Amino acid sequence: MSNPNYEKVQGTTADMSNPPPYAEKEDFREPDPLQPPQGPANPKDYGGVPPMPPQYQPYPDPAGAGLNQGPILQPPQAVYITPVQPTNEPDYLGYSIFTMLCCCLPLGIAALVYSIQTRESNHMGNLASAQRNSRMARILAHTALGVGLCITVLYAIYLGVLLSAR
């Protein structure tokens, strides 16, 4: 130990039954982050490791700038959010509900699902998805109507044959 202010401890352990009292004048506030840290001027004097450089370095000054002016701060960039333009594809919701209730339940349910997806795509402004779902809802609703009409016609023919046989 080269520093004469240090004394060598003669015992193996310190007496912990009587700890030193706390200083009442000690300030327990957090340090100001804008002020330099209080401590030794050179950490190598006490055997400490020099601090790590910050992870993110500021941009260097452009050529021709004066010395000791600090980092150049750039203003935040403006972000413009444009509202989505809704599309106007037909959703065939009423037609799907009618075919679900009156013609063919399974195909009517499928047409209703595609109609709802068309409505959501229209609201979000997704034109391609709205067109695809609208076309599928129309095809399923037409198919459900055709199946329902065919079943109704076949049932009427069956009843006619059944009644004429009596």
- For residue 37, the model assigns a pLDDT of 64
CA 141 – CA 163 distance, rounded (Å): 33
Give the predicted TM-score (pTM) of the model: 0.51
What residues contact 97, with CB distance under 8 A and at least 6 apart? 108, 112
Higher pLDDT, 95 or 71: 95
CA 8 – CA 22 distance, rounded (Å): 24
- For residue 42, the model assigns a pLDDT of 59
What would the pLDDT profile of 104-136 be if each residue is shown by its tens digit?
A: 999 999 999 999 999 999 999 999 999 999 999
157, 111 in Cβ contact below 8 A? Answer: no
